[in-house]
């Protein structure tokens, strides 16, 4: 297939020369691990002191990676991308605020984002983190307690708390289904991922009967996720729903390895990048081989993986705008 990612004139047409120079400088500084580590640790402290760094952050890191602080600011960025045929995943950054009131507020905000997305022609998805709707400690308890995996638990307060989480997710997915907006449920740390997976499968079983609304996210830097993809597909076939999968390499590698070392259990992370790349590409193949049952989002900055997906589509005679294949980058 005659596809190349080397045409920077097309790739960066929506950026001015000054914006590209600023981005190049920013990424250059990120090549120095010591600079990133120092900056990551110092920034929260400096912001607490009241020093005027907010403006600097907004014009550098924030501008490069964040669409805006409000839905209105983000809408302007989305409109620019839309002019160049680029679709947008709206990601409401709510994670970190615990408490039932905050979780209910987040649910309302997700509904607002869905309603806005439905008015735009280039916003087919929103992204959700379950940690924005549920207490981290609850998710960890659900992940750790074997009895919970079979639905047996004797803590009535936590049962009620989990039911409220399920209700919030149901409300969001129901609103998305009514507006034909996809819901991408983000992956989490391995020690809270099991309840997230179960909740996601539950929502898929309800809302993915005719088409894919709900998507799970699998991190292929985990050595068990290719197996989980195949298992999820079998469950979907048995229960009569379509599977939605967003494929990423992963976001918590250092944290995962540190926790595994501290608690003396086998790390869930692949032994090396080669193994991660292998499982990622095998997952791409698996999804496209089962394209009638699976809707896949190839979320990768890796040229090889993106070219693989594009070539597989070409081999199978799939149109570039096939509704079950999307490509996504930050």
Q: At which residue do the structure tokens 């909740």 appear?
A: 199
Terminal CA-CA length for the chain: 25
Q: In the chain, what percentage of residues exceed pLDDT 70?
A: 86
Angle at 58 between CA 52 and CA 63, to 5 degrees: 165
Beta strands, E only, 189-305:
214-219, 243-248, 294-299
Nearest to 78 by CA among 17, 25, 13, 124: 124
Q: How do residues 192-246 score in pLDDT, each as one tens digit?
A: 999 999 999 999 999 999 999 999 999 999 999 999 999 999 999 999 999 999 9
Q: Are the C-beta atoms of 186 and 163 separated by less than 8 Å?
A: no
pLDDT band, residue 93 (cuts 50/70/90): confident
Q: In the chain, what percentage of residues exceed pLDDT 90?
A: 66
Provide CB contacts within 8 A for 281, sequence distance 6+.
Answer: 304, 305, 308
- Please state the rounded mean pLDDT for residues 138-166: 79
Q: How do residues 111-120 score in pLDDT, each as one tens digit?
A: 999 999 999 9
Instruction: Centre a 10 Å sphere on the Cβ of residue 150 and count the other Cβ atoms it contains.
Output: 7
Question: pTM value?
Answer: 0.90
Q: Which residues pair with 245 in a beta bridge?
A: 216, 296
Nearest to 29 by CA among 10, 52, 56: 56
Buried/exposed code over 152-162 (b: 16+ C-beta within 10 A; e: otherwise): eeeeeebeebb
**pLDDT score for 51:** 60
Q: Which residue has the higher pLDDT, 81 or 296?
A: 296
Q: Which residues pair with 89 in a beta bridge?
A: 125
pLDDT band, residue 10 (cuts 50/70/90): confident
Q: Are the C-beta atoms of 232 and 201 separated by less than 8 Å?
A: yes
On average, the pLDDT of the chain sits at 89
Token pair in block for residue 193: 């991922």
**pLDDT score for 55:** 65
188 CB-side CA count, 13 A: 25
pLDDT band, residue 34 (cuts 50/70/90): confident
pLDDT band, residue 152 (cuts 50/70/90): very low
Gap between the Cα atoms of 155 and 145, Å rounded: 12
Q: How do residues 284-309 score in pLDDT, each as one tens digit?
A: 999 999 999 999 999 999 999 999 99
Domains along the sequence of the chain with CATH: 7-65 (no CATH), 84-328 (3.20.20.220)
Nearest to 218 by CA among 251, 240, 180, 259: 251
């Amino acid at each position: 297939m005659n596809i190349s990612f080397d045409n920077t004139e097309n790739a960066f047409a929506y950026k001015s020369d000054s914006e590209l120079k600023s981005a190049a400088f920013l990424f250059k500084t990120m090549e120095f691990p010591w600079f990133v580590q120092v900056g990551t640790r110092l920034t929260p402290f400096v912001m607490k002191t009241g020093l005027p760094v907010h403006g600097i952050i907004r014009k550098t890191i924030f501008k490069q990676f964040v669409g805006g602080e409000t839905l209105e600011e983000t809408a302007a960025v989305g409109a620019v991308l839309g002019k160049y045929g680029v679709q947008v995943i709206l990601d409401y950054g709510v994670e970190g605020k615990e408490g039932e009131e905050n979780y209910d507020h987040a649910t309302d905000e997700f509904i607002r984002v869905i309603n806005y997305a439905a008015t735009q022609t280039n916003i087919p998805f929103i992204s959700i983190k379950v940690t924005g709707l549920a207490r981290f400690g609850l998710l960890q308890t659900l992940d750790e307690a074997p009895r919970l995996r079979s639905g047996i638990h004797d803590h009535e307060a936590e049962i009620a708390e989990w039911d409220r989480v399920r209700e919030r997710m149901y409300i969001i997915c129901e609103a998305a289904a009514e507006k034909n907006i996809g819901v991408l449920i983000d992956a989490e740390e391995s020690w809270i991922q099991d309840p997230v997976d179960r909740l996601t499968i539950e929502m898929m079983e309800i809302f993915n009967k005719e088409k894919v609304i709900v998507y799970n996210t699998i991190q292929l830097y985990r050595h068990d996720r290719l197996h989980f993809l195949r298992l999820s597909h079998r469950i979907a076939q048995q229960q009569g729903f379509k599977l939605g999968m967003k494929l990423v390499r992963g976001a918590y590698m250092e944290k995962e390895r540190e926790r595994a070392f501290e608690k003396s259990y086998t790390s869930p992370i692949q032994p090396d990048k080669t193994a991660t790349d292998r499982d990622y590409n095998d997952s791409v193949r698996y999804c496209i081989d089962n394209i009638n049952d699976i809707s896949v989002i190839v979320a990768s900055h890796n040229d090889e993986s993106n070219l693989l997906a594009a070539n597989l589509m070409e081999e199978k005679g799939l149109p570039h705008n096939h509704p079950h294949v999307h490509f996504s980058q930050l």
